[in-house]
Amino acid sequence: MNILYVSGSPRKTSNTDYLLKVALAETGGRLIKLTDYRIEPCKSCWFCQKVHKCVVEDDMTKLLIPELIESDGIVLGSPVYFNNVSAQLKAFMDRTWCIRDKFRNKIGGTVVVGRHYGFESAVTAVNAFFLKHEMIPANRGVCGIAFERDEVVGDREAVDSAKRLGKRILELLGLIDKKDSFFYNDNLSEQERSCEEKPS
Ligand SMILES: Cc1cc2nc3c(=O)[nH]c(=O)nc-3n(C[C@H](O)[C@H](O)[C@H](O)COP(=O)(O)O)c2cc1C
């Protein structure tokens, strides 16, 4: 299975990465850390409207977007920062604006880790990303409780939940054989398929 696990944690020994790896152990795939890549924030230049690709020349355009398009599923992980996702993950999500018709029907998974506050709003931010891209969220998301490095290892509920996320992704991938599925419409025009909005 071609599942891309994306970590928005800047920590080397990261709670988020730990839970992502637990899910990855179920599905296979690849874990990337956004801090290993140079990713500029979206400039809202709208050139992508005209040329159908992002004109910012960085690792997002050159390396990550091609890999994302090839994937069957994308699991986004983030530490909870001020009740939201990390700046690294937010920049990553915004930069997919230029390919918003390319993730349709991919499976989405969510992992967030925080000390105490704001899990729901961080999960909601990731779910909004999945829904905007017309992806299929695998479940309500994994929430780990941890503050210090490695602390999430002791959150057995979160570890089990990450395992279940992996299994759920496999289950959905088994169900969604895109070519045969009754809800996959290969005949949609580019315009019908597009979930883009016109700039106001
Ligand atoms: C800038 C910053 C903001 C944070 N904001 C929150 C928060 O709003 N809620 C919370 O529960 N924890 C918050 N934390 C704690 C982290 O979410 C926590 O340390 C988490 O385990 C980090 O995950 P990681 O090890 O994967 O990086 C914050 C930490 C930092 C550095």
User: pLDDT tens across 51-67, in order?
Assistant: 989 999 999 999 999 99
Q: What are phi and psi of 20, to 5 degrees?
A: -60, -40
Q: Please work out whether the CB of residue 86 comes within 6 Å of at least one atom of ligand 1.
A: no
Mean pLDDT, range 77-89, rounded to an integer: 98
Residue 16 Cβ inside 6 Å of ligand 1? The answer reads yes
Q: Which domains does the chain show, CATH number per domain?
A: 3-193 (3.40.50.360)
pLDDT given at position 185: 56
What is the chain's mean pLDDT, rounded?
A: 92
Name the helix (H) or strand (E) containing 145.
strand 142-145
* Percent of the chain at pLDDT exceeding 90: 85
Render pLDDT for 139-157 as a digit per residue (tens, 0 to 9): 999 999 999 999 999 999 9
Which ligand 1 atom sits nearest the alpha carbon of residue 78?
A: 26
Ligand 1 pocket test, candidate residues 35, 80, 149, 159, most atoms within 8 A of CB = 80
27 within ligand 1 shell (Cβ under 6 A):
no
> Is pLDDT of 182 > 60?
no
Q: Kindly report the pTM of this predicted structure.
A: 0.91
What does the DSSP 8-state code read for residue 40?
P
Among 15, 17, 81, residue to substitute to test ligand 1 (most atoms within 8 Å of Cβ): 81
Q: Let me know: does 68 contact 95? Beta carbons within 8 Å.
A: no
* Residues across the chain: 200
- Which of 3, 100, 109, 95 shows the shortest CA–CA distance to 56? 95
For the chain, the 3-state helix, strand and coil shares in percent, each to the nearest 5, are: 45, 15, 40
